[in-house]
Chains A and B, each alone.
Chain A
Amino acid sequence: MQPLQFTTAATLEDALGALGALAGADGQTALLAGGTDLIIQWRAGRRPLRQMVELKKIPELNVLEFDPARGLRLGAAVACHRLAEFEPARRHYRALVEGAALIGSTQIQSRASVGGNVCNASPAADAICGLIVHEARCLVRGPKGSREVLAKDFMLGPGRSALQPGELLVELRLPPPPPRSASGYLRFIPRNEMDIAVVGAGAWLAFAADGKTCTAARVALGAVGPTPYLVDAAGAALIGSTLDEPALRAAAEAATEAARPITDVRGTAEYRRHMAGVLTRRAILRAAQAARQSTRETHA
């Protein structure tokens, strides 16, 4: 294994400088947040590196704040356990927290970050459906300044993100939750814990003042395509309904229709298509239940 230069960045400028100085065209500089994907890939020889730039000490990447008017700010290096313990996130961004909390064991939760999950860009990444249905924006910094990329556009394919050479992900920004809205995420794995999704589904819903009529809905699927993605038709099938059986069936069918899975050790394509529908229905019901619960708490 070739020598490795290890740089601990104290500031964003440090990190961008280190990235710019050694990035070059060889792609052998990597940004280290939790390291739970990167270190394994590097050690296995799948990702030869000359330099690691550690990001966890940069203040901007450790932001975790909620403001009812501005929404959630999640620094790219915030470890999953911090998000899972952050009450406003648990309350208002359930699909994200439920997905992030499923990533690995207690030990992995201590290190892995949602930002890293996004940049690693696995098709089965558990935190991404939640970001998509909450319409998260990814704040990116690079040599040419800052830009924002919608979470749904951030992943380009397995292991490929919208980051250009020299750029890094600073923060995820989730819009404030509208009244009477809620979300949920479910994944299917063949055992109780510690596995990679066969299928994942996130749902976000908003309801009218009657608390029953769905006014806005978004559904995202994971592990059934090259990246997690939004299924517009599944959300559209719910709008205007009271989540009655025909609406739920239409949303589930839209998800099954939109699924483009492969067959691998975790399941066949046919099974995944079926499960995309099943999990979509359950994630919608889970979000609806959360919305009812939060409405009750608000009125209590």
Chain B
Amino acid sequence: MTTNRVVTATINGVETPLLVDTRMSLLEALRDAAGLTGTKEGCLTGDCGACTVILDGRPVDSCLVMAAEVEGAAITTVEGLARNGALHPVQQAFLDHAALQCGVCTPGFLVSAKALLDKNPAPTEEQIRYWLAGNLCRCTGYEKILSAVQDAARSLKTTR
């Protein structure tokens, strides 16, 4: 029984065929088949959010999505945030606020924060904290991340 298959998804705007084993998660497919290693492996149990990507408009833990599920889907990874060499306002705000230290959780936070601001351009502090509760950071204590997301919301508002 062969369990390899080709799954085609639109990743960061580019239609991408991926050769996957049916046991692979979307996380493994992104890192090992597509070579997009920006998405990080953390807990593999959907607790830490390091592997967050946007799947058909919603943030998901890519470790809990089977690669074989994403045929025809649209996926945004951290590599898809910057445009033409310019950082996404969320990325710029994380730099400006030093909202990272070791950086392992950062791609997940960036993707989650982008998904939030796509849906709700002016979130309250409480809304940001609840939305990001599925992303764990063991370095920053979250305050700088919160400031960065608030700042990104402001700068997105002025550029709209």
Chain A residues close to B by CB (< 8 Å): 1, 3-6, 8, 32, 35-36, 39-40, 43, 52, 54, 56, 79, 81, 104-108, 110-111, 193-194
Contact = CB atoms under 8 A, between A and B. Distances in A.
B41 interface: no
Nearest to A82: B58
B89 interface: no
Contact of A110 (B22, B23, B59, B130): B59
Nearest to A194: B133
Contacts of B25: 39
A107 B66 contact: no
A51 to B, nearest CB: 10
Contact of A111 (B45, B49, B64): B64
Contact of A52 (B1, B58, B66): B66
Given A54-B69, A111-B65, 5 more contacts: A3-B23, A4-B23, A39-B64, A105-B49, A108-B64
A38 B50 CA distance: 20
Contacts, number: 85
B134 A5 contact: no
Interface string B47-60: 10100100100111
Interface in B52-99: 52, 55, 58-61, 63-66, 68-69, 71
Interface in B94-119: 112, 115-116
30 contacts: A3-B1, A4-B22, A5-B22, A6-B3, A6-B5, A8-B68, A8-B71, A35-B64, A39-B64, A39-B66, A40-B46, A40-B64, A52-B22, A54-B66, A54-B68, A105-B134, A106-B59, A106-B115, A106-B116, A106-B130, A106-B131, A106-B132, A107-B46, A107-B49, A107-B59, A107-B60, A110-B58, A111-B61, A194-B47, A194-B133
B44 interface: yes
Contact of A104 (B71, B115, B134): B134
A111 B134 CA distance: 13
A193 B130 contact: yes
B68 A104 contact: no
A294 B66 CA distance: 42
A40 B45 contact: yes
A36 B43 CA distance: 13
B112 A107 contact: yes
A107 B61 contact: yes
Q: How large is the interface on B (under 10, 10 to 19, 20 to 34, 35 or more residues)?
A: 20 to 34
Nearest to A2: B23
Interface of B: 1, 3, 5, 22-23, 25, 44-47, 49, 52, 55, 58-61, 63-66, 68-69, 71, 112, 115-116, 130-135
A3 B68 CA distance: 13
Contacts of A32: 66, 69
A106 B133 contact: yes
A25 B79 CA distance: 45
Given A6-B68, A106-B112, A111-B64, A1 B23 contact: yes
B52 A107 contact: yes
A39 B45 CA distance: 8
Nearest to B108: A107
8 A-B pairs with the lowest CB-CB distances in the bound complex, closest first: A105-B134, A110-B58, A6-B22, A6-B68, A3-B3, A107-B61, A107-B134, A193-B133
Nearest to B53: A107
A56 B72 CA distance: 14
B48 to A, nearest CB: 10
A111 B53 CA distance: 13
B46 A5 contact: no
Contacts of B134: 104-108, 194
Contacts of B133: 105-106, 193-194
Contacts of A35: 64-66, 69
Contacts of B64: 35-36, 39-40, 107-108, 111
